[in-house]
Amino acid sequence: MTSSAPEQSPGGWLGLKGRTCVVTGAAGDIGAEIARQLVEAGARVALLDRDEQRLAKVLADLQAGAGQAMALACDVTSTASVQAAADKVQAAWGGTALLVNNAAALYADALMDIALDKWNQLLAVNLSGYLLCAQAFGRQMIAGGGGAMVHIASISGSIPQPYSGAYSVSKAGVKMLSQLLSVELGEHGVRSNVVSPAMIRTQMSEQIYQDPAVRERREQIVPARRISTPADIAGAVLFLASERASYISGQEILVDGGLTQAWLSLIPRPGFQKEDAAGAVA
């Protein structure tokens, strides 16, 4: 009789123990949480960010928990800066097994008003930066016989987010970049996937949720009835990075509490009450 339980790997259920992982934008809440969960899974994590002060604090927190981590100042829009970081990771720990492309920027602008340099600046971080990191660390994965890339996008890559300048365009580009990487690098044993958050509570957005009325209205439109946290995003990243996702590539996981499935339920219908839903046909 064959057991239906998955075989346990030497590195634990996720199989990430001892793996060399790189997280960009690691000084932010999402990047820091991804790094924390990777360290807890036994991985060695290189933290990349251009905010050296905040990066040092994240590193100190990880090391206080006896995690194996290093912090590297890196501007993902610079080919030289990215390659220098990749070389340091290679020298310290050998080739990279996982890249988490997470560094991002967001500027509020109407398309009719945005200046071209500001448009290009956002694309340089949110899209071109992902490519530069995929190239530098992807070469290490190819040389090492495989690896995984997880790119943080957004539901605004599929659903337009107005007055956000190039943000939606950049996140849509991330999704296609990931799909192309999955096709071109698949023969080298490299997987590429996307995690797309919806509304999320971070230090950047927390001011919004301090208004109880706004928070409650937002929570009510999410089927899960809560706003996501960085831990929700990190959990999806670790799954896609793990051996449990070894045959998943070119895909996108929406971490949105069911929000993108709820649009039609938000459209008013004459004479329809929520309590009638159980017997409703259309």
CATH number of the domain encompassing residue 112: 3.40.50.720
**Between these two residues, 103 and 282, which has the higher pLDDT value?**
103
Do 75 and 81 contact (CB within 8 A), yes or no? yes
CA geometry: angle at 173 spanning 168 and 176, to 5°? 135
Examine residue 43 and state whether it is found in any structural domain, yes or no.
Answer: yes
According to the model, what pLDDT value does residue 246 have?
Answer: 96
Q: How many domains does the chain have?
A: 1
Active site residues: 167
Residues in the chain: 282
Examine residue 273 and state whether it is found in any structural domain, yes or no.
Answer: no
Is residue 268 packed enough to be buried (19+ CB in 10 Å), middle (13-18) or exposed (0-12)? exposed
Alpha helices of 23-166 — where are they, by DSSP H?
29-40, 52-64, 79-93, 116-123, 129-144
Examine residue 13 and state whether it is found in any structural domain, yes or no.
Answer: no
Examine residue 109 and state whether it is found in any structural domain, yes or no.
Answer: yes
According to the model, what pLDDT value does residue 181 have?
Answer: 98
According to the model, what pLDDT value does residue 220 have?
Answer: 85
Examine residue 272 and state whether it is found in any structural domain, yes or no.
Answer: no
Examine residue 192 and state whether it is found in any structural domain, yes or no.
Answer: yes
Angstrom distance (rounded) from CA 276 to CA 226: 24
Helices (H) and strands (E) in the chain, counts: 9, 7
Examine residue 269 and state whether it is found in any structural domain, yes or no.
Answer: no
Unique residue bearing structure tokens 């604090």? 57
According to the model, what pLDDT value does residue 7 have?
Answer: 42
Span 142-201, pLDDT tens digits: 999 999 999 999 999 999 999 999 999 999 999 999 999 999 999 999 999 999 999 888
Show the tokens assigned to 259: 């929000």
Examine residue 9 and state whether it is found in any structural domain, yes or no.
Answer: no
Do 129 and 174 contact (CB within 8 A), yes or no? no
If you average pLDDT over every residue of the chain, what do you get? 90
* Four-CA torsion 47, 52, 57, 61, nearest 10 degrees: 20
pLDDT tier at 282, thresholds 50, 70, 90: very low
Query: 178: domain range?
Result: 20-256
Angstrom distance (rounded) from CA 59 to CA 66: 11
Is residue 237 packed enough to be buried (19+ CB in 10 Å), middle (13-18) or exposed (0-12)? buried
